[in-house]
Amino acid sequence: MRYSQLLIPTVKEVPADAEVPSHRLMIRAGFVRKVASGTYTYLPLGWRVLRKIMQIVREEMDAAGAQEICVPILQPIELWQQTGREADYGPTMCKFTDRHGRVNALAPTAEEVFTTLVAAEVSSYKQLPINLYQINTKFRDEFRPRFGVLRSREFIMKDAYSFDVDAAGLDVAYGKMHDAYCRVFDRCGIDYVIVWAESGEMGGSGSQQFTVPCDSGEDTIVMTEDGQYAANLEKAPVDPPAAAATPAADVPEMEEVHTPDVGSIEAVCAFLGTQPAEMIKTLIYTAGADQTVAVLIRGDHDANEEKITQAVGGKHVELADEATIRRVSGAEVGFAGPMGMAEQADVGLLLVDPSVAAMAVGVTGANKTDHHTRNVVPGRDFPLEGQNVKVVDVRQAVEGDTYGGKRLVFKRGIEVGQIFKLGTKYSVSLGATFLDESDHEKPCLTGSYGIGINRIFASAIELGHDDGGCILPINIAPFEVEILPLNSDSEAVVGEAERIYRELAEAGVDVLIDDREVRPGVKFKDADLIGIPLRIVVGDRGLKEGKVEIKRRTDAKPALVAAGEAVERAAAIVEQLKQGS
């Protein structure tokens, strides 16, 4: 195509809210324009990138046996109420009330609609397995949209849903999607880590994220130093302390201390002359509708609510309200302690993190306003076993932790895909059942598989850019080759550039020619900015010797090649770049 006939409004300045490289460069390269907070227009080049990504995704989904369909963006809210997910999404769900007063969700995802479809159309095991997908716009009412298209209110997602007769079938479907995702991201030319995850509000039994490690990412990946295991922060398991300290038989009895006007862990430590690692935090959570859970964490650690959720059997947990804390601890908020907790009728479960269980002695709240207790010995002053006591990993991993004996390292990343084994959560609540070979009705085993199309684009730029602009992978770049005729007044230059352009296009190469009447410097700058992988420069000087310049976007210097060989050489390099990705 011709540069002069495309809207490619490259700019020098970027808005102040463009904090990350991909956001800045998408605007500078004329790929996107902001319409409102969290919504973007994709201009011709940006849209070409997205379309190429969508095509790769489509091909790999089709190859994996998934069937493409398209479900509405407007979804009856009743479906979301049936699964309880209207509440889970809360204010991030966009809703539209129509003129008849019916409430519609603007699809944030589509488990409900797909499962309802299968409930209606599938009745026999003979129709299973089935995997259906769509590539469609999704919506999230982000409180604070940012990082350009990385956290936007409107985005394109590929979402697939598999339905199987049993868990083994789900494993197969999940595995196929796992492998297809690897091929998608490989073909898109982005590096990624496969990260174990909890399935969070999606429900279900297992999940992995495909995350592109980069500094601009909002997610934290926790990896063993050998890279053999990675999990997100919510999931990341940690080894218990190497050896439990010897039970301190010589610790004096517990002693209550008056600690007025001290709120934070730090303040208590300062007041008592102790360290956060010697403190035991007692956190009161509610789990599900009615259970109260006490959670013990070392003072220098943070609780991990996903781990707590898993420890209570998948129920939604949140910190208890003040009234509950007061009732359970008998004190104002900030003074709860583990003593007597497990014996309280009110408290269904006491969860003790292994790092607390391993403490020889600690300081805790005294269950009495403005008081703490010292000389508290785990196992002596509160139980480490019993019917409603569990010693279990419920804290966030931190620097210095190990898993499987290997040191854990922390990285930032962008999640570009996630796959979930959902089990029967949706099929049960939405009636997606089938009759098995013995005519017994059973719920389908379902999986759900998402890819953020726009995030692949942004990730590619986060991974590939320099001071001059984008460095895009060959398979998703808006064009494969860009031709720069330096002097539009020279018939020889224009003629040769046009010949190369024509012949490359005929050879099936996706080629752009910068036919604008602008200075060479402008063409070079813009070419760097939009990041086409291969550039051919046709100039008077070179042509006098029958040469043109060929340069990969990543090369420091161009190679001079005979003009007559330029097409063949360029096509070969394009092929080589494609092989490499």
Q: Which residues contact 139 (CB under 8 A, 6 or more apart)?
A: 73, 94, 106, 107, 108, 153, 154
Length of the chain: 581
Q: Which residue has the tokens 């005294």?
A: 366
Of 99 and 544, which has the nearer Cβ to its own copies?
99
At its nearest, how many Å lie between its own copies and the CB of residue 536? 23
Q: C-alpha dihedral over 289, 294, 298, 299, to 10 degrees?
A: 80
Contact 442, 165 (CB under 8 A): yes
Cβ closer to its own copies: 516 or 569? 516
- Beta bridge partners, 137, equal 156
Number of residues that bind its own copies (CB under 8 A): 51
Would you say 55 or 205 has its CB closer to its own copies?
55
Residue 104 touching its own copies (CB under 8 A): yes
Minimum Å gap between C-beta 362 and its own copies is 42
User: Least distance (Å) from its own copies to the CB of residue 56?
Assistant: 16
129 preceded by a cis bond (ω within 30 of 0): yes
Residue among 153 and 281 whose Cβ is closer to its own copies: 153
What does the alpha-carbon distance between residue 200 and residue 308 come to, in Å, rounded to a whole number? 11
Nearest-approach distance from CB 63 to its own copies, in angstroms? 12
CA Rg value for the chain:
29
User: Interface with its own copies includes 258 (CB under 8 A)?
Assistant: no
User: 3-state DSSP call for residue 48?
Assistant: helix
Complex with its own copies: residue 76 or 206, whichever CB lies closer: 76
18 contacts its own copies (rule: CB under 8 A): no
Residue 190 Cβ vs its own copies, minimum distance, rounded to whole Å:
21
Minimum separation from the CB atom of position 530 to its own copies (A): 15
Q: Is there binding between residue 557 and its own copies (CB under 8 A)?
A: no
- By CB under 8 A, tell whether 36 contacts its own copies: yes
Cα separation, 59 vs 81, in Å, equals 34
Residue closer to its own copies, measured from CB, 50 or 280: 50
5 binds its own copies (CB under 8 A): yes
Cα 532 from Cα 509, distance rounded (Å): 12
Q: How far is CA 179 from CA 165, 175, 197, 374, in A?
A: 21, 6, 17, 54
Query: Comparing C-alpha atoms, which of 103, 132, 106 is closest to residue 120?
Result: 132
Handedness of CA 130, 136, 140, 145 (dihedral sign): positive
Residue with smaller CB distance to its own copies, 94 or 173: 94
Check if the beta carbon of residue 164 is closer than 8 Å to that of residue 426: no
Nearer to its own copies, 106 or 445 (CB): 106
Pseudo-torsion of CA 15, 19, 22, 24, nearest 10°? 20
Segment contacting its own copies by CB under 8 A, of 114-122, 326-334, 346-354, 423-431: 114-122
User: Per DSSP, what are the bridge partners of residue 448?
Assistant: 161, 420
Contact 30, 11 (CB under 8 A): yes
Q: Binding of its own copies at residue 418 (CB under 8 A)? A: no
Instruction: Give the interface segment with its own copies, choosing from 109-117, 268-276, 326-334, 429-437 (CB under 8 A).
Output: 109-117
Residues 131-190 that bind its own copies (CB under 8 A): 132, 136-137, 139, 141, 143, 153-154
Alpha carbons 526 and 536: distance in angstroms, whole number? 14
CB of 571 to its own copies, least distance (A): 23
How would you class 298 by CB atoms within 10 Å of its CB: exposed for 0-12, middle for 13-18, buried for 19 or more? buried
Q: How far is the CB of 133 from its own copies (least distance, A)?
A: 10
> At its nearest, how many Å lie between its own copies and the CB of residue 125?
14
For its own copies, what does the binding mask look like between residues 64 and 103, x meaning CB under 8 A?
-x-xxxxxxxxxx--------------x--xxx-xxx-x-
Give phi and psi for 68, each to the nearest 5: -85, 130
Q: Closest approach of Cβ 454 to its own copies, in Å?
A: 10
* Chain centroid offset of residue 20 CA: 16
Least distance CB 131 / its own copies (angstroms): 10
| Residue 61 interacts with its own copies (CB under 8 A): yes or no | no
Query: Which residues here bind its own copies, judged by CB under 8 A?
Result: 5-7, 9, 33, 35-37, 39-44, 47, 50, 65, 67-76, 91, 94-96, 98-100, 102, 104, 106, 113, 116-117, 120-121, 130, 132, 136-137, 139, 141, 143, 153-154
